[in-house]
Structures are given as structure tokens and as C-alpha cells.
Chains A and B, each alone.
Chain A
Amino acid sequence: MAEGFDIDHLAKLARLSLTAEEKALYSSQLNQILGHFQALADADLPATIDDARVVNEAALRSDEPGPVLGAEAVTRIAPASRDGQISVPRVVDDES
């Protein structure tokens, strides 16, 4: 089957530096794994929701505010903190 992925891109996302031999090996193994999933995807199954995992609205929480930990407790469990905030190495990627 044709490869549904780009091994260089995957290696980059995984922060892996691969040799040509490794790329060939992992590409072949990934293809096998994807082949298994393709077999599952091809199986003729009804698109139903697993009833065993369904709850009704009684399982929801009421909108009642409860206790909080407090900034002191929150920052105490962090490796580093400053001014009531958790201190981390500088990150710039603007996620969210």
C-alpha cells in the first residue's frame, strides 16, 4: 500500500534524528501498523455509540462553586514559583 505519511515530517514532530536505515525500517513498520488500522476501518460496522459508556443528565454536576486550593497551595506543588504564579522556562509559542 502507498505510504500515508511523510517519515521526515513525523521524525521532525517527534524530535527524532533518524538515519536512512532507520527511516526505511520505521516506514515499513509504520506501514504494517497502518495496514491493521485500515483493516479495522474497512470492516463493515454500524456507526453506533457504545451504550456501556453512556450516562444521562443525572450524572452531571450542578453549577455550585466549591472550595479552591489557594495560590499558596497551588504554587507549593510547582518546582518554581514567583508572585503567586508558577514559574516555567520562557515559552513563546502562542497556543490556545
Chain B
Amino acid sequence: MSTPLSDWEVVIGLEVHVQLHTRAKVFASSPWGFGKEPNEQVDPVVLGLPGTLPVVNREAVEKSILFGLVVGASVPEHCSWDRKNYFYPDNPKNYQLTQKDFPVVVGGQVEIELPGASRNVMGEHKFIRIHHAHLEEDVGKLSHAGSGSLVDYNRAGVPLLEIVTEPDLRSSAEAEAFLRSLVAMLTQAGVADCDMEKGQLRCDCNVSVRRRGVEKLGTRTETKNLNSISSVRDTVIYETARQIRELEAGRSITQETRGWNAELARGYVLRDKEDAHDYRYFPDPDIPTLKISRETVTRLSKLVPENLYDRQRRYVEKLGLPYTAAALLVNDRALAEWFELAVAAHPTNPSGIANLVANDLLRDLAASSGSAGAFDESASTPVSLASCPIKPAQLAGLVKLTDDGVISKQQAKEVFAEMFKSGQDAAAIVDAKGLRQNSDTGELEKIVQEVIADPAVAKSIAEYRAGNEKAINALKGPIMKRTQGKANPVLIDQLLRKFLG
């Protein structure tokens, strides 16, 4: 029910807050991380105690610029910070340091892929424009208990990049696809980990509806603090249906800020426009304007990984991979690079390598790490290849043995399982297990001649000679049986045709 009524169009813009991958906070040297005891990751700068001054963390700035380069944004010559004033105990200073007039990232776009008609068909691609992204500080965490509230400032001051899209999204599916694509880009560039269970990515979702064909945007609502992709999807579906219902009943939409209750799967009003805060933004006097050198931009541009979908197109068009395998591999940069190392070692059969990686390797890695769901395509956590017992060149070796007809595809599965267990080379396992298919022509010729001479197969031979090509297959079984399955099927076929020809 992504579009409840077809004569309405939904318009969505997202503000995505991402905690950047740094060790220290954005304006203070206090460390930060998930799961620490309350208020154990706080220093005087975080609290804004008298006499302290914020100093911007270089890594946070560079990660922000890197994000800009990943989405093809322009990196401005300067950026600066402003104070957003508000009185709420999640912020110890009574203002949040943010960027209003001169953000670190301006423009850019994110390519998204919508679901296809079926699993193995690629869906439509679309570009979603980024308005800007600004580097600010995260705020503390409140928990409400009885008559009071408790404040933990561990999260206060964590570097937060707020990525603001243009209102380019037109359905819950597009919002979902955008977030998946964004998460892949952020994690693959090492900008952020985007672990939603740890609150590292949170989203504000602006939704409005308008009659199809109408240009003017409808009144929008903003649903704040969504902490999962499914919550964003559900909010869009809920808010679209609610707004259309209101408008069709002749009522109007109030511009308001809303919350989302994921358990009840429903939204609620937080405050309307009349209560809108006046944040009294002004330039922060403690932090000078920062000049971003072009040398830094050049250096960081070298860290931009190949775009997810450029890689996917390359795999399909240049390497001849099926779409499903390509889509699976490119979702995880480490896995894609592992695959490419294997292809470099055996360049003639990328599909054969992709098949083993996408099926056997991922399955066994998941089983050994105990995270069976990790390769669900909806999961954003990359696979840990660090503990993979098979090296890319070894996998390439296995595929080469199969391609050269030394072992059968069925035997390759067996060898793969053994490689995953022992980390040995495919050839060593093949030899140790005596799996090498018999390509000794002399010995095989004898067996083939013996089998042909057997009266039991005389009928098949006659049929073959009469023009029934398939009849030759009836002779292969007995030969395989005599060689205990070690004979090279290609060679058997050649010899049979030679003697029967």
C-alpha cells in the first residue's frame, strides 16, 4: 500500500543523522562509543564548563568532506559553525553547535535502485539530490522515570553529519532504497558504521501529498527521530494515508512535528507550527571559520571507493555476471574486492567464481560466524572476511580445476567444503582424496573398448549409429562406474565418438 490512491502523489524529503566513524568527539577530545556506563565519556568541553573552548576534530571534518566527494558534491572553500539555541536538558550548553549558513557539503546526489519485478531482475534506477550536509554535535540521552528525567551526556558531542535531501523521493519504496544506498556508500567509504541498533543513523522524515499533476507542494509534516529503515518506510505509508484521508474529508493538513511509535505502528503529534522553536541561530564566536584546502580535497578524493552501482554495471556488462550475483557482491565492498582478487587470479570465468562466492562461501562464512541472517540482502553489516579460511587465489584455483575438467562441478562442492575446513589449496585436496579425474587416455581407451564390447549396450550403440545422439549417454554410466567416477567426462565422450564413429 505504498500509494494508497493513485491520483495522489507523495513527496518525501529526508534528514539523515549519521554518527561519523571517529575515536574522539567532534569539538572535544573525549572518547565515545556505544554501551558505556552513563556519563563516563564526558569532559569539560562537552559540558561547556566555564573556560573551555571547542576545537574541531580534523577526522570529523575529513569524513564529512569524504562523504561529499562520494556523492559528487562540491566542497566549499569555507565552512563555519553556528549556535542553535534551545533550552532542553539533552544539551548541557543550552545550544547545539551546528552549521547553518556555510555547511561542509553542498549538493551531490545518491543513485538508488528500486526493487525489480522479481528477485533476479534489476529494478529502476533513480538519482536523489542532496541539498547539503552539515557537521554538528549529537546531544545527550534522556530517560524518563517517574516524576523526573535522567540525563546521560555520553552521546553529547559525538560527531553527527546531517544529510538533507531535496524532496525527490516519491514512495516508501524509494525512501527505503535511498537509505539502503546511502548506508552502503557511507560504510564502504569508511565514513560511518551506520549501526542502527546502536543509534548511529537516525532519520527525520518530511512528507506531503498533492494531487497528481499539481505542481505546488502540499503542507508537509515532519516525523522526527526514526531509528530504522523500516520505521521510515512505515512512517511514509502511515503519513501518506493519513494526509490523503484528511484532505479527501475536506480538512487541511497542519504543518506539525510528529513522533513515531514503532510498537503501535502509528504516528502522533509532538507540536504544531505555533510552538515552533525560535533557535536564534548566530555564528559561534568560539570556532573560527575553516578554510578547506584544495590539497585536502585532492587527497581525500583518492579515498573515494568505486560507486556501488558503477561496480554493479561493470560486473554485469564487463564480467558477464548475473544480476543477482552482482547485486549481492557490490553491497559489501570487502566481499567485492575479495571476489576481484579471485578473478584476477583466474580471469576467464568470473561467473564461476561469483557463483561459489555468492552461494558456498557466504553460506559457510555465515554458518561459522553464527550470524545466519548476515547475508540477508536487507542487512547492512558487512561480512567478516578477515576470518575466512580460503584466500581469493585458492578459490580461483578451485574454479580453474573445474574449468580444466580435472574435477567435476559436483566434486568441486566437496573440495570447497574441505578447503573451508582446512584452508588447503584445491589441488592438494584433489590429490589427497584421489579425486583427480582420469585423463590417462591409454587406460581409459581400454575401458571404453571393453564397455563397447559388452552385449548389454549393443542396442544403445545401434541407436546411436542410427542417428540418435542421446543414445551415447547410456554408455557413459558403465564407464564412469568402472573408473569409480574419476574419468574425465569430456574425454569419455571424445573416445566414445572416436570408437563408434
Please give the residue numbers on chain A whose beta carbons come within 8 Å of chain B beta carbons, in ascending order.
9, 12-13, 49-50, 53-57, 59-71, 74-75, 82-96
Report yes or no: A69 in contact with B142, Cβ–Cβ below 8 A: no
Q: Which residue of B lies closest to A8 (CB)?
A: B274
**Option from B59, B102, B144, B150 in Cβ contact (under 8 Å) with A92:** B144
Given A93-B270, A94-B259, the answer on whether A63 and B42 have CB atoms closer than 8 Å is no
Q: Which of B29-37, B168-176, B212-220, B324-332 contacts A (4 or more CB under 8 A)?
A: B29-37
- CB neighbours (8 Å) of B28 from chain A are 66
Q: Is the CB of A90 within 8 A of B31?
A: no
Contact B23 A64, beta carbon cutoff 8 Å: yes
Whether B319 is near chain A, meaning CB under 8 Å from some CB there, is no
| Interface core residue of B57, B86, B150, B259 (most chain A CB under 10 Å) | B150
Residues of the B chain whose Cβ atoms lie less than 8 Å from the Cβ of A64: 23-24, 29
Q: Which residue of B lies closest to A14 (CB)?
A: B278
Distance between A68 CB and nearest chain B CB, rounded to angstroms: 5
Q: Is the CB of B293 within 8 A of A94?
A: no
Q: Bound complex: CA of A88 vs CA of B150, how far in Å?
A: 6
In the complex, which residues of chain A have a beta carbon less than 8 angstroms from the beta carbon of B288?
A: 53-55, 59
In the complex, whether B379 has a CB less than 8 A from a CB of chain A is no
28 contacts between A and B (CB under 8 A): A9-B274, A12-B274, A53-B288, A54-B288, A54-B289, A55-B290, A55-B291, A57-B58, A60-B55, A61-B57, A61-B58, A63-B57, A64-B24, A65-B31, A66-B29, A66-B43, A70-B40, A74-B39, A85-B39, A86-B39, A86-B89, A88-B89, A89-B149, A91-B89, A91-B142, A94-B225, A95-B86, A96-B225
Q: How far is the CA of A32 from the CA of B78 in the complex (A)?
A: 34
Q: Are A54 and B78 in contact, CB atoms less than 8 angstroms apart? A: yes
Report the 9 A-B pairs with minimum CB-CB distance, sorted nearest first: A66-B29, A65-B31, A63-B59, A60-B58, A85-B150, A71-B39, A86-B151, A61-B55, A74-B39
Q: How far is the CA of A49 from the CA of B101 in the complex (A)?
A: 11
Q: Is the CB of A68 within 8 A of B31?
A: yes
B55 and A74 contacting across the interface, CB-CB below 8 Å: no
From A93, which residue of chain B is reached at the shortest CB distance?
Answer: B88
In the bound complex, CA of A50 to CA of B90 (Å): 32
- What is the bound-complex CA distance between A85 and B143, given in angstroms? 10
Q: Report the Cα distance A71→B61, complex, angstroms.
A: 29
Closest-by-CB residue of A relative to B138 is A96
Alpha-carbon gap, A85 to B274, bound state (A): 33
A33 to chain B, nearest CB (A): 14
Q: Which of B47-71 contact A (CB under 8 A)?
A: 47, 55-61
With A55-B289, A63-B58, A94-B259 as known contacts, state yes or no: A86 contacts B150, CB within 8 Å. Answer: yes
Of the candidates A9, A62, A74, A90, the one whose C-beta lies within 8 Å of that of B47 is A74
CB distance from A55 to the nearest CB of B (A): 4
Distance (Å) between the CB of A88 and the closest chain B CB?
5
Q: Which residues of A contact B61 (CB under 8 A)?
A: 57, 60
Docked Cα-Cα span, A57 to B288, in Å, equals 11
Contacts of B89 in A (CB 8 A): 86, 88, 91
Is B198 located at the chain interface by the 8 A CB criterion?
no
> B40, B58, B90, B278: which contacts A68 (Cβ < 8 A)?
B40
Closest B residue to A75 by beta carbon equals B39
With contacts A93-B88, A94-B224 known, is A60 near B290, CB below 8 A?
yes
How far, in whole Å, are A50 and B283 apart by their CA atoms in the complex? 12
Least Cβ distance of A74 to chain B in Å? 4
Task: Judge whether B480 is part of the interface by a CB distance below 8 angstroms.
Answer: no
Does B148 touch A at the CB level, under 8 Å? yes
Is B289 a contact partner of A66 (Cβ separation < 8 A)? Answer: no
> A74: which B residues are within 8 A, CB to CB?
39, 42, 47, 153
